[in-house]
Structures are given as C-alpha cells and as structure tokens.
Amino acid sequence: MAVSIEARDFGTSKDGKQVDYFTLDNGNGCVIGLCGYGATISSVRYADRDGKIDEVNFGFDDLASYEAHTSSMGVTVGRYANRIRNAQFTLNGEVVRLDVTNEAGHSAHGGSKGFGKQVFSGEIIETNQGKGVKFTYISADGEGGYPGELTLNVTYYLSDDGVLRYEYDAVSTKDTFINITNHAYFNLDGIKADGSTNVAEHEIQLNSGFITPLDSDSVCTGEVKPVDGTAFDLREQVRIGAGLDNPHELMIATNGGYDISYILGADDGRMKDGAYVYSAKSGRAMRVKTTQPCLQFYTNANLRETLLRDGKKVNKMAGFCLEAQDYPNGPNVAHFPTEPLRAGQKYLQVIEYIFTTEA
C-alpha cells in the first residue's frame, strides 16, 4: 500500500511564520508526524505485538510548546550538533567565534537559535525513494557565528515496512563546519500518563567498541576509549538498566545516565548498522542505520515533570535518543577526522529508523 501524506496548518511562530504539519501513513499501522518548526519528528505511532497502536515518540500537541521547550524534542540539530568547546574553532587559520549557550562558555546544538528553533518550509515530494516531505531552511551567513549562507534540505520518507529514512543535504557559500542530526526521544512501550515511563527494561545492542568521553561540561575531551569491561560495552544485547544500576564514572561526571558518542566507522557515505533497541514487554523494536561516523546514545537524565501531547508526563530516564552524527567537538580535535564543508561542496548524510514488531 502506498504511503499517504496529509498536510495541515500547525500555527504561526512567534516571529510570524506559518508552520506546517505533515502526517505520513504507510497503511500498515505506522504513522509519522512531522512539524516544520525545527523539521521535527513530532510523532511516531505503531503497533505492539498485540496490535495496540501507541505513541512511542516524545512530542507536543502545539507549536507554542515546541517554541518554549529547550530539550530539542525531535528537532533537527545544527549547524553543528553536540558541543563545541569554548564556542569557537579555527578555520582556514582564523578563529571563528560561535553563539555561547551555557554558563561554562561552550556552544551546543548550533547556538540558541540553531536549526531546532527555526521554521522550515515544507513540501510533499516524490522521488525514486518514494513519496516524502522535504523541509528547507536557509541559514544566513554568520548565523550562530557560523560562516557562509547555508541551504539545508531535510527530507523524510516512510516505507511500507516501517522504515523512516531521512536525508540531510546542504551547500554553503563559504567554508564552514556542519554536523546535522535528529534529537528524537523514544520509548518502545509507549508513553504513560502517570509519569512512570522508563527505558530501564529496554534492551540495546550498539555496534561499536569505542567511545569519545565527555568532561563535566558534557564536552568531548578528544579522547577515544575502548568500551571493553565497562557499562558502555553494548556490543551484545543488554538491558539498558544494567548499565544504569551501576553507573560508570563517566556517567556520574555528566548526568548519571548514558550520554556518550560511539564511533561507528568512516564518514564514507556507506550505511552502517548502528544500533538495535527492543522491548520484551511490547515486542516493539527499532534499528538505526546511518552514513554518519558516530552515534550518540542518550538516556534522558535531564527531563523533569515534562508534559507531552495528550497531557502525558515524563521524567528522568523515560526515553532514549540515538543521534547519528559527526564527531562531537570535531573541529577542535586535530586527530578526529572531521573535515570542513568547503564552499559549493555538497553535504549529504542519511539516517534510517526501522520500526518493527517482534513476537
């Protein structure tokens, strides 16, 4: 059955721009909601093993909630995802100073007005990948401190068998650094109304033997460490709670949960099998594949009494994020293989979330 797409008005942003909302339905029980504010994955609904369809993604009912919230709920993140130490990097021999976003003096997720706080124009398209939604945003030269006018397209496709594919393509008028990802939060058991939603009993397998540790400011130190013998070793399927029960010292130094980037491989355009998450309770499973070199695994330790759509409440450890991206703080670490995007060069990265239900 062909995927159907419906568009509707989602309201007007604080700066007077119309925001569109698109619903993608594959006709097989998987329905995705996409919001033009932040080119956001707003809703993911699909069936458990008993056929019950639940919301498994963190999102809001209205535009005002997206504008007010600071946890990057499902948004497209950029220009550079994760943290940039001291809110600066050197490019072509010159120091580029970025928007400072925290008291420690660093820059996170592209700055206070990064892509997750911008209105993208949206349109329904059809390509050889199928029918999809393309969101476009033009980031002005100097926005957030980043050089070059950057034109970014974020295109989402939903397949008949539950694959949500999104492609990031961009071009800049000047040399710059770019690192785009999505910051969706998931719980495969569905979001409960009483605030008890938790991912401790989910099982995860993450196909990497190396992490890039963070300091107490959640900035990548530049180290690369093996996961052997630690709670970060997720190469065999394991309960998420097993690592949370006895947190590693690196977890304690940041926020008490998983918040770390794993190295998947080279940034060579090839799809890599990044991670697999499964809930024995619901039978729902999710696989992540990507062309990106790294994958950030985050068990949200920072949400407190957060109200989502339908008045449902979530707290600490209610969900997980798997953010495929470039190396955190890559422009400032000489031995990381992060390269500038040169003027006129095309940036292209692909991420797939594959939603299935198992016995």
List the catalytic residues: 183, 323
Residue type at 285? A
The angle at the Cα of 104, spanning 247 to 333, to the nearest 5 degrees, equals 75
For the chain, the farthest-separated pair of C-alpha atoms sits apart, in whole angstroms, at: 59
Bridge partners (DSSP) listed for residue 260? 297
Spatial contact of 106 and 85, defined as CB atoms under 8 Å apart:
yes
Instruction: Return the structure tokens found at 156.
Output: 């989402």
CA–CA gap between residue 58 and residue 230 (Å, rounded): 29
Q: What is the CA radius of gyration of the chain?
A: 19
Picking from 73, 56, 311, the residue whose alpha carbon sits closest to that of residue 194 is 311
Residue type at 33? G
